[in-house]
Structure 1
Amino acid sequence: MYNVMTEKNTEMDVKELNPKELQHEHPLTLVDLQLMHRDYIEDDDEYDDNDLITTQNFECICNRCDRRIDWYHRYYYKCSMSSCTYSLHKFCEEIPPTLKFQGHPSHTLILKRTTNDKKCCACLKYHRDGICYHCSTCNYGIDQLCATFVEQNTIHHPSHSHPLFSFSAKPGLNECFLCGKKHEGHFYQCTTCFNFLVNSDCLSLPIKLSLHTQQFSHRHLLTLSYSLLDQLYDCECRICGVKLEDEHLIYKCSKCMYYVHPDCATQIKPFMFVLLPGLGKNEKNFKDVNHPNLVHLPVDDETHILSHQIFEGKTRVKGRNEKGHLIHSFHEHPLVLISNDTTTSLHDPMKRIKLLCNACIKPITKMPFYKCSKRDGSCKFVLHDWCIRLPKQLRNHGPHPQHSLRLYIFFDNLSGYKCEACGLPCNGFFYVCFECEYVIDVNCAFMPKEITHEAHANSNHLLARVDSGSSSHSKMECRACRVSIAESESYFRCTSCDFYLDCRCALHLPKTIRHKYDKHPLQLSYSPVEDHKSRYFCEVCEEELDPGKWFYHCAECAQSIHSACAPLMLQSEQGANSLYDSEGVYKYINIKFGAIDEFPRLHRHPLSLAPGTENDGLCQECGSKLQSHIILKCLPCNVAFHWYHEHTLASFLFNPSRHIYMYEENKRMIKQRGPQTSLEFYPSEMMRPVTRHWEVVDDDITKV
């Protein structure tokens, strides 16, 4: 400071200042520019979008210091007369008549008026005509800008409850608290919360954003949110597909549960769409001519997949009797072909007709098919036309190539097994290798090697089957149910992207389903549905629904259903699925219920195989809950038992422990934040964030 002593020898031209001289001729009104963001309730419908944009883009000049007044000052004074544009920073209007200044601690500085061109003793720059703080004893004076240096370098932002002070960090990368990334350049620091350090780029993001590009577009304005702590579900960026962190900035539309990273929303370039993880190119990575038998999913008919995998060949048919009925080695009665019988009812859940094939346990929705010829209707054995052609033996089977697999069946339909490929229990036909104790249901035995799915790249990418034990990835998650894929399971993987589907979700979820109380079909949805705000609830089990997982939805009626509850809805078996089992597909989708047999040890009446519901209460044998278990039920007595209490049912094919079937719980991993970057503070020139443009529009979008 004392390098200007030669200038101090000349008495500064100062004079007393009457505070009334600074007063404006009209009354002033204090304006809160962030009034609508007080406590920042991030509600898309709370305020008009245009009002938010206009407010954040506000800018005018202070009539006292000639510096900009912007939205980040939060408060300012303006003239109450509509015809007058007089404006002041709040701190410029409320400057005190005296000042204690660190650069001159020995005396109090007095507010005075100056008209000379002497230099300020603090910043060493020339005064402009106006006011200053002056010590007459030492002839020491500073201009108003230096007196209000802290206020000039302070901003207010709705992301934080305390003021933020501007400083330039030491050259190098520093971590921003809001986005969790490292930046170079200008930062703002909270003097109250030492670890709150924010990059100027993050502070300058617009509160509202319009997103319209060739690849990504949203019809509503997106709102800037400073955390996901209030969100009900795990969310992914709709552009890059990466999971969003709870404590970091996002752009969101609550109406549609549409979330994107700020970087993804504001820095979209044509090349980014090629390199984004989880999405890949939206161009075909295969030629149709090279894949003539490619299965395109999802399909409307649940029986479609197996029908296209079984071709003409040897069957399990011994011959025909004198009436022309087929003699099948897996059934004691002849089978009659049903082709054009108008009196025969096909599978129709709306009418509570459950016609399931005994081989693949899939609905029979069209003719022809075969059924037992017994006229009294006591035998419910039915087969698809293609299921009578299941080969007796499979050689060089993909998941188990070392030994041949032979076709078997449980004749009582009350025994079952657990499929090695999909992990689901089943009581239909199966292929088995007794030497390796390997068993697989017929659906998984003819699982296609390659598929496409409309949920991924609009069916433009091939999904190749990966058999159990051949995976090179340590951690994989099914994109449909968000459950980790076990190494023992078969699944489908896109060779171009980080996209996985387990075989259950890929093959067992049809495109549409129907509800008997809804006149519209429900569509399989792969992401949160448009215009469905707040929580989602399943219409079948009445439990909460996570829209980040695949589910069924009727847009016209705003009804949603767990994908795992869809078969229960069709069969009117509400309550058979517990909350923790609502992952992907219904776990008993490969079980044909209804078989009846006698079990004298358990009960005096015949018992029926059924899915346990909440209304079934407790097991008469062990006292445990029956809900979501396979049970043996006596309808006249209204009592039931767990399936595995009867010794003939106590085991699956090889291992007694296999009757306990359980989904792997998808546990959420919480990342620990790393240590904060060590900082050093250096003085800097005053820098303020400037709000970026609130609209992201692709120049080429009009060409689409």
Structure 2
Amino acid sequence: MDSSIVTVDTLRHFSHWHPLNLVHLRQPPHKKENVDDEDEDEVEVEDEVEFVEEDRQCNLCREQIWSFHLCYYSCKTCSYSLHKFCAELTYTLQNHPLHPGHTLQFYSGNYEYKCRICNLMKKSIPQYFCYRCDFQMDIICPTLLEQKINHHSHPHQLERILGHKNILPCVACRNNHEGVFFQCTTCPSLGKTSKNFKEDEHPNLLRCPFQDEGDNLVKCYMSNQHGLIGNSRQREGEMLSHGSHQHPLSLFDKQTSVGVSLHDPMKRTQLLCDGCVKPVMTVPVYTCCQYGNEQCCFVLHEWCARVPAEVQDYVGHPEHTLVLLHKIPGKFFGVFTCDVCRLSSNGFAYGCTKCDYYVDINCAFIPKEITHDSHPNHLLSIVKPSQERLNKHCKACKDYMHRRNLGFHCLSCDFYIDVECALLLPRIIKHKIDKHPLTLRYEPAENHIDKYFCEICEDEFSPWKWFYHCSTCAQSMHAACAPLILQCEQNTYADNYKCVYDFLNVKFGGTVEIKYHSHRLAFVQGLETDGRCRKCGRGLQYNMIFKCLEGCDFAFDYWCASSLVN
């Protein structure tokens, strides 16, 4: 049978051959505020009545049937029982609110899987499955909207919430509870739709994701702390001697006067700041007075030119002060690995040379608290997953949090996100493959009836990892494939399976002389046509490489080139 036929007192359900009869349960009376002494013992006994006498369990969801469920369905022939809300589920779900646009089919199997709604591992619990996008949802989650109960401990109706661990102490027993929770939506409470923080207590709270690629942590920090953005004391064309560059820098604060083309993905124009290695999309901006010379294309955001000389009490390394370093000593082409986001970078850094601890300029200004649109109304606090050995997954990329040095989590929910996914993926991006802006998606797009394929690398992907999507054109791409890459536009996601592009903080360009070759080698990202490293034989596609641009078919990976120069 493909559906259930519900009557007032009987039910024929697809999961059982015999008719099921409706059984009414006795609900304990609501506890009175003023109770006479002679009645106290009687009330206490009644308050302890929670399970039904038969101690029955629902044969579909495997959860207990309680007295506050008021009724359930039972088979007179055998011991088969169902919650009323489970009995009302059909074999297929059409356009369900938790997965609109696709048909979900009931499936019962004895194996472990992860529910995409509650993010909990389930074993031997029936599920609903979408064959189009590999979506799995346990049979409990579709009933949440129907699971409203009247409990004797509270005058209002209670609604079931997802079974996160240790969300809040139970109001009835005062103990921390793992599993099923019911909450009142009438009274002020700590629910997903209610804020768990006060706005006035967090005046400079960072709201993520950033609107577009033009915003970043450095800009936000300098604006909040120093008010420098758009308020330059310098005048158009005035010169600045900056310790990061050998030539004077000239300020441009009018877009019409800028002597360089600003970053524009739609025109395939890439312009990255040498400080934060983020796109230069607006003025004011500093450029080298010799800009245009092949050997000198130095650019700085105005705010990057004025970052503080040191950072104290840094959340990831509070024991020592971090000092600004325009280039980390001893690093070939200035490339280092950030100790927070683990991404390669050749921009400015803050470091503790005593501990050999370095962070890129963006990670240096990570706040202790943020909010994120993927988990609205709840405050996310900084956490150190690697130290706490957290066996949790990032909500965005699904990778284990214990591999991260810093991340964010919600104190009210079982929500975790690493710093890369939280802070480096903007809400809106532009890309040459689509004339419309693409929006960051946290779950499958509404009414998307086909499978998901990345428009850049052309691989199929799961929509349960964050991705960018144009609802007008129904085009999608991996978040890691989304940044503007002028040459290497293949294999971006397939080599790392992350949400963040591996070389998001690397500015390619510049040349170097090495042994054994007469031409200078350019610092670029490897293509499939570059073949293998001339020294170690490693494949060069996607990696940082140095190659000859004179048509010699001669290239080394970053590490081999570094050893040849040094």
Does residue 293 of the first structure (1) align with residue 204 of the second (2)?
Answer: yes
Distance 2:385 2:138 in 1: 35
Q: 2:322 aligns with which of 405, 410, 416?
A: 405
Letter in 2 for 1:206: T
Does residue 489 of the first structure (1) align with residue 384 of the second (2)?
Answer: no
Pairing of 1:43-82 with structure 2 (within 5 A): 56-57=4-5
1:271–1:617 CA distance, 2 compared to 1 (3 A): farther
Pairing of 1:70-469 with structure 2 (within 5 A): 176=59, 179=61, 199-200=81-82, 205-209=89-93, 223-227=104-108, 236-238=115-117, 240-243=118-121, 248-251=125-128, 260-266=137-143, 267-269=146-148, 271-272=158-159, 276-277=163-164, 280-302=191-213, 303-310=215-222, 311-312=225-226, 324-342=238-256, 344-378=260-294, 379-410=296-327, 414-456=333-375, 459-467=376-384
Q: In the alignment, is the contact (CA less than 8 A) between 2:340 and 2:404 conserved in 1?
A: yes
**Per-residue deviation at 1:226?**
1.0
Distance 1:173 1:649 in 2: 73
Deviations 1:1-25 (A, max 9, x none): xxxxxxxxxxxxxxxxxxxxxxxxx
1:324–1:154 CA distance, 2 compared to 1 (3 A): closer
* SS of the residue 1:307 aligns to: helix
1:225–1:188 CA distance, 2 compared to 1 (3 A): farther
Letter in 1 for 2:510: A
Deviations 1:329-367 (A, max 9, x none): 111000000111425311112222211111111011100
Letter in 1 for 2:209: P
Q: In the alignment, is the contact (CA less than 8 A) between 2:12 and 2:19 conserved in 1?
A: no
Q: In the alignment, is the contact (CA less than 8 A) between 2:407 and 2:419 conserved in 1?
A: yes
Number of the residue aligned with 1:582: 497
Distance 1:484 1:650 in 2: 37
Q: In the alignment, is the contact (CA less than 8 A) between 1:562 and 1:582 conserved in 2?
A: no
Does residue 622 of the first structure (1) align with residue 541 of the second (2)?
Answer: no
Letter in 2 for 1:598: E
1:511–1:592 CA distance, 2 compared to 1 (3 A): same
1:223–1:440 CA distance, 2 compared to 1 (3 A): closer
Sequence identity percentage: 37
**Per-residue deviation at 1:398?**
1.9
Q: In the alignment, is the contact (CA less than 8 A) between 2:12 and 2:18 conserved in 1?
A: no
Number of the residue aligned with 1:633: 547
**Per-residue deviation at 1:572?**
5.2
Q: In the alignment, is the contact (CA less than 8 A) between 1:222 and 1:251 conserved in 2?
A: no
1:376–1:550 CA distance, 2 compared to 1 (3 A): closer
Distance 2:15 2:541 in 1: 60
**Per-residue deviation at 1:527?**
0.6
Q: In the alignment, is the contact (CA less than 8 A) between 2:125 and 2:138 conserved in 1?
A: no
Q: In the alignment, is the contact (CA less than 8 A) between 1:421 and 1:468 conserved in 2?
A: no
Q: In the alignment, is the contact (CA less than 8 A) between 1:187 and 1:200 conserved in 2?
A: no
1:486–1:410 CA distance, 2 compared to 1 (3 A): same
1:182–1:515 CA distance, 2 compared to 1 (3 A): same
Q: In the alignment, is the contact (CA less than 8 A) between 1:611 and 1:631 conserved in 2?
A: yes
Number of the residue aligned with 2:473: 557
Q: How big is the alpha-carbon RMSD for the aligned residues of Structure 1 and Structure 2?
A: 3.9
TM-score normalised per structure 2: 0.74
Distance 2:163 2:332 in 1: 49
Aligned residues: 476
**Per-residue deviation at 1:313?**
9.6
Distance 2:349 2:549 in 1: 30
Letter in 2 for 1:57: I
Q: 1:596 aligns with which of 511, 520, 528?
A: 511
Deviations 1:446-498 (A, max 9, x none): 11221111110xx3111112246654x63121100000123651111111111
Number of the residue aligned with 1:521: 437
**Per-residue deviation at 1:547?**
1.1
1:235–1:475 CA distance, 2 compared to 1 (3 A): closer
Letter in 1 for 2:479: S
1:488–1:583 CA distance, 2 compared to 1 (3 A): closer
1:592–1:200 CA distance, 2 compared to 1 (3 A): same
Q: In the alignment, is the contact (CA less than 8 A) between 1:395 and 1:405 conserved in 2?
A: yes
Distance 1:229 1:561 in 2: 34
Distance 1:383 1:187 in 2: 74
Letter in 2 for 1:638: D
Number of the residue aligned with 1:548: 464
Q: In the alignment, is the contact (CA less than 8 A) between 1:551 and 1:560 conserved in 2?
A: yes
Q: In the alignment, is the contact (CA less than 8 A) between 2:339 and 2:357 conserved in 1?
A: yes
Letter in 2 for 1:225: F
1:203–1:596 CA distance, 2 compared to 1 (3 A): same
Distance 1:72 1:334 in 2: 78
Distance 1:264 1:561 in 2: 29
**Per-residue deviation at 1:591?**
0.7
Deviations 1:267-293 (A, max 9, x none): 433644556428953211112222121
**Per-residue deviation at 1:597?**
1.6
For CA contacts below 8 A with separation 6 or more, give which structure has more relative contact order.
1
**Per-residue deviation at 1:409?**
2.6
Letter in 1 for 2:138: H
Q: In the alignment, is the contact (CA less than 8 A) between 1:399 and 1:468 conserved in 2?
A: no
**Per-residue deviation at 1:612?**
1.9
Q: In the alignment, is the contact (CA less than 8 A) between 1:309 and 1:448 conserved in 2?
A: no
